[in-house]
Structure 1
Amino acid sequence: MEHIYPIFDKMLTRADKEALLGQRGIMIWMTGLSGSGKSTLAIALERELQRRGILCRILDGDNIRSGINNNLGFSPADRRENIRRIAEVARLFVDTGIVTIAAFISPSEELRRMAAGIVGEADFFEIYVNTPLSVCEQRDVKGLYAKARRGEISEFTGISAPFEAPAAPAMTVDTSAMPLADSVNEILNSILPRINKQN
C-alpha cells in the first residue's frame, strides 16, 4: 500500500458529475429472500427512471456473481466479501451521480450496515422486499428451494441459512400483496425527491 498515491484531489468532484447529469446519485439497496421479487422490482424501477430521463444502473446478484465475484462461494466469509465488493462498486456509481439499484439477498443486518457504511449512510436507501417464504418457494423457477430442502444445497438462505429482516428499512414491499406497478410507484414517490437536482 505504500506505493499507492491517490489522485482524488485532482479528479472532478461528485458535485461536478451531478451538475452534468442534473440528478443526485443514490443507492437503492433491495434485500430479501431468493424469489422475493427484488430483480423484477429493480428492472421495473430502472425502466421508470429511464423514462423520466434519470441515469441508473442495476447491480444484480446473478450478474455480479458471474463476473466480478465469480471466484466467491456462499460461505459466511465469501458472502461478506461479495457484499463488500458490491458496495465498493456501488459507491463509485453513486459518486458519479448515478442512481444505483442493488438487488441482493444480503441476509444479515451486519452485511447491510457494512454496505451502508461503504456507500455512505446518507446515500443508502434500503428496501426490504418482504415476500413470504411460501410465495418465494412457489416462484422458484430454478428449483433451488426444493434442492435446499432435500439437503442438496447447503447454506441456502431461508432454509439452511438464516435471513435477518432489516431493523429499520426505509421502505418495505411485499410483492405478493401489491401489483408491481403500485410497488414501483411507491418507491418512486420516496426516492424522486432525493434524486431530482432542483430540490
Structure 2
Amino acid sequence: MKSKNIVWHKAQITKRDRRRLNGHKSAILWFTGFSGAGKSSLSVAVEKELHKRGIRTYVLDGDNVRHGLNNNLGFSPEDRTENIRRIGEVSKLFVDAGVMTLTAFISPYREDRNMVREMVDDGEFLEIYVKCSLEECEKRDPKGLYKKARNGEIKGFTGIDAPYEAPADPELVVETDKETLRESVAAVLNFLQEKGYIQE
C-alpha cells in the first residue's frame, strides 16, 4: 500500500540550475529493440563520444539494472512493465539532475515506453529504435539466449514466444543490421546536434 502521509519536498536548486552548471541539456536516450540488436553496444559507444565532449552522462543497461534495483523481477508481462516503470522513474531523476541518460532495454511494449515518455517534460524522452531483423539478432545471439529459447529452456522470450511492439513514431531509427557501429553512433550524435541537445 502507498503511504498517504507523504508530501513532496521542493528543492531550492532546479533542473534549470543544474543544466546551467553542466553547460548542456539533459534527456533520456531510450534505446529499444530486440535482444542482440546492439542497444548496449550503441549506448556505451554514444556515451563515450558524449563524454569526450564534456557532457555528463550515465548508461542504465537492462541486465545491469536487473542485478540490483530490479533483481526481484522476472520476465512476465507484469514484471516487464514494472521493470520499465522503475527505470523510468530513475531516468527521470537523472534528467532532473541534468544528466544525459542513456537506457538500453528491450522494453517490448509501446504502452510501457509511452508511460516513461509521460513521466518527463516534452522533448526529454528520445525514443531510439535500434532496428535489426530478428533473423540477424538470432544469428548474432551474443548471450546464447535465442538458442535456449528455441530449445524451450527460456519461456516468454521476446521475438520467439513473446511479442515486440516496434515504435510507431520514434525520434530516431538506426538500422544496426545495415550500419556499422560507427555509423549508428554518428547518426545518434548528428540527431542530437541537429535538435540542439548538444553542440558541435
In which range does the TM-score fall when normalised by the shorter chain?
Answer: over 0.9
Offset of 1:73 from its aligned partner? 0.3
Q: List aligned pairs for 1:11-160, cutoff 5 A.
A: 11-160=12-161
Whole-Å separation in 1 of the counterparts to 2:147 and 2:68: 26
**Consecutive unaligned residues in structure 1, runs of 5 or more:** none
Task: For residues 96-153 of structure 1, give each alpha carbon's deviation from its aligned partner in whole angstroms, at most 9, with x where no partner exists.
Answer: 1110001000001111101111133420111111111111112113211011111111
**Consecutive unaligned residues in structure 2, runs of 5 or more:** none
Aligned-residue Cα RMSD (Å) equals 1.5
The alpha-carbon distance between structure 1 residues 172 and 53, as it changes in their structure 2 partners (threshold 3 A), is same
Specify the alignment match of 2:162 in structure 1: 161
Whole-Å separation in 2 of the counterparts to 1:121 and 1:109: 17
Which stretch of the first structure deviates more once superposed, 57-66 or 179-188?
A: 179-188
The one-letter code of the counterpart of 1:2 is: K
Which stretch of the first structure deviates more once superposed, 144-153 or 28-37?
A: 144-153
Which stretch of the first structure deviates more once superposed, 81-90 or 186-195?
A: 186-195
The alpha-carbon distance between structure 1 residues 26 and 12, as it changes in their structure 2 partners (threshold 3 A), is same
Identity score, percent: 51
The one-letter code of the counterpart of 2:132 is: T
Whole-Å separation in 2 of the counterparts to 1:33 and 1:110: 17
Name which of 7, 12, 15 aligns with 1:5: 7
Which stretch of the first structure deviates more once superposed, 157-166 or 133-142?
A: 133-142
